Amino acid sequence: MKSEHYDLIAIGAGSAARDGANKAAKDYGAKVALIEAEHWGGSCPNVACVPTKAYLVAAGLAHSINTLANERGIEVGPATTNLAKVKAWKDSLKKPQQKWVESLHAAGFDTYEGTASFVDPHTVRVGDAELNADKILIATGSRTAVPPIEGIEEIDWVDHVSALEIEELPERLLVCGAGPVGLEFGQAFSRFGSNVTIVDAVDEIAPHTDHHAAMELREALTDEGIPIILGSFVTKLAAREGGNVATITPREGGMEQEVEFDCFLVASGLLKFLESSGLLRLLSRSGSDSARAMLGLCKDRNRFASPSATRKSGFWSCWRKLASWSNVRSVSSFTIASHVSVCRSACTLVSPTATSFASICGAE
C-alpha cells in the first residue's frame, strides 16, 4: 500500500478545496494533496454555476428572438429549442478532466482519484494509498435535500444535476423552490418552451437576496408567463395517466390547489455531503465536545433529508433554523485550523444551505 505524508489533504477538488489548497501552499509553503471522487473542479464548473449559465444564455437568445426580433425588423419565425443540442453545446464548454489535473499539478499539488475515507483523524484511504496529514480539509460539497413530500418516491423527480441531462423538453415543469437554483432552471426552461410553475413556502422569491431585487425579478418572471405560487408547500405528488398531479397547500392553511406536471424539479435545498468520507463514523467514535456538536449538526441535517422524518407542520421552522445555522457555521465557527483560516465556497447566489462544508478535522 502506498503511503505518503502531507501538510494538508483536501477531500474534494471543488472551489472550497482549491481555495484552501492555494492558501496553504502560497501562504505557508504547505505540501498539499487533493482527492476527488467524481469531477475535478467540483460542482461549479461541471454541474452547477457554469452549465446553468450556459442554459440561461441559450434561453436568453430564444427569448430575444421571440420577443424582440420582429419588432426590430429581424424576420425569423418563433424560436424553438432542441434541448439535446443545447445540452451538447453546454457539455462542450466544460474544461476536460485531464486539464484540471494538469493545472493542479502545475500548481504543485498531488492529486488522487477516488473516494477518500477516514481511517483516523489524520489518515485517509483512497484506492490503494493511505495518506496522512497534519490537517485534513473536508470540502466534499453538498447534495440535494429531498423534501418530505407525500408520494415523491412514486415519481421520477430531477434535481439540478439530472435536470442538466434531460434531452427532451418537458411540456410542464413544476419547480419546487424559488431560490437561485429553482429560478435559474425555471426561467431557462420557460424560455426554452416549457410551461413552468414555481412553488415555494417563502413569501418572496430568493429570500436571501435583496428584497427589492427579488420583487423586480418576480415581476419579470411573472410577466414572462411563469406562475409563481408563494407561501405554499407542495404537499403531495401523484403519478397519473396523462400527467402527474401535485397538491399545493397554503402554509397558513386555506384552499389547496392541484397543478399538473410532466417533470418535477427539486430545488428546495442542499445538504452538506458528509457521508462519503466516513466523517460521521469517525466523529461518533470521538469523545470531544466539538466532535459531538458537529455530529449533532450532521444528524440534524440528514434527518431533514428524509422524506418521512420531518412532519409537514415542522418543515418550515426546521428549514429556517438549519439555513441560518448553516450560515453561521460555514463562515466562522468551524475554523478550528491553525494554518488555514476561513475557507469558504464560491457560493454567492445560492442559499446558505448550499455553501460548502469546509472545515479542518483533527485540529484539537
Ligand X SMILES: Cc1cc2nc3c(=O)[nH]c(=O)nc-3n(C[C@H](O)[C@H](O)[C@H](O)COP(=O)(O)OP(=O)(O)OC[C@H]3O[C@@H](n4cnc5c(N)ncnc54)[C@H](O)[C@@H]3O)c2cc1C
Is the Cβ of residue 208 or residue 236 nearer to ligand X in the bound state? 208
Cell of 221: 418572471
Does 350 sit near ligand X (CB under 6 A)? yes
**104 or 248: CB nearest ligand X:** 104
Q: Does residue 158 touch ligand X according to CB under 6 A?
A: no
Closer CB to ligand X, 338 or 348, in the complex: 348
Residues 157 and 79: their CA atoms lie apart, in Å, by: 27
Region of 31-39, 60-68, 218-226, 238-246 interacting with ligand X (CB under 6 A): 31-39
| Residue among 23, 87, 140, 265 that touches ligand X (CB under 6 A) | 140
CB of 324 to ligand X, least distance (A): 18
Q: Which residues, including other chains, have CB under 8 Å from residue 202's CB and lie 6 or more apart?
A: 178, 230, 231
Query: C-alpha cell of 193?
Result: 418552451
Binding status of residue 144 toward ligand X by CB under 6 A: no
Report in angstroms how near the CB of residue 31 gets to ligand X at its nearest: 19
CB closer to ligand X out of 37 and 363 = 37
38 belongs to the binding site for ligand X (CB under 6 A): yes
Q: Which is nearer to ligand X, 45 or 193 (CB)?
A: 45
Contact status: 49 vs ligand X (CB under 6 A): yes
Q: Which is nearer to ligand X, 24 or 354 (CB)?
A: 354
Q: How far is the CB of 334 from ligand X (least distance, A)?
A: 13
CB of 56 to ligand X, least distance (A): 10
Q: Which CB sits closer to ligand X, 66 or 209?
A: 209
Q: Does 17 bind ligand X (CB under 6 A)?
A: yes
Note whether 354 binds ligand X by CB under 6 A. Answer: yes
235 binds ligand X (CB under 6 A): no
Q: Answer yes or no whether residue 33 interacts with ligand X by CB under 6 A.
A: no
CA-CA distance, 13 to 356, in Å (whole number)? 12
* Residue with Cβ nearer ligand X (249 or 345): 345
User: Do residues 356 and 141 touch, judged by C-beta distance below 8 A?
Assistant: yes
Rounded Cα distance, 209 and 191, in Å = 23
Is the Cβ of residue 43 or residue 187 nearer to ligand X in the bound state?
43
Under 8 Å between Cβ of 257 and 228: no
- Min dist CB 41 to ligand X, Å, is 7
Residue 42, C-beta contacts closer than 8 angstroms, at least 6 positions apart:
12, 13, 14, 15, 16, 17, 18, 36, 141
Please answer whether residues 353 and 238 qualify as being in contact, where contact means their C-beta atoms are separated by less than 8 angstroms: no
Examine residue 21 and tell whether it contacts ligand X (CB under 6 A): no
CB of 107 to ligand X, least distance (A): 16
Q: Phi-psi bin for 149: left (phi > 0), alpha (psi -120 to 50), beta? A: beta
Separation of alpha carbons 268 and 265, rounded Å: 9
Q: List residues binding ligand X (CB under 6 A).
A: 11-17, 35-39, 42-44, 48-49, 52, 115-116, 139-141, 160, 181, 273, 276-277, 345-350, 354, 356
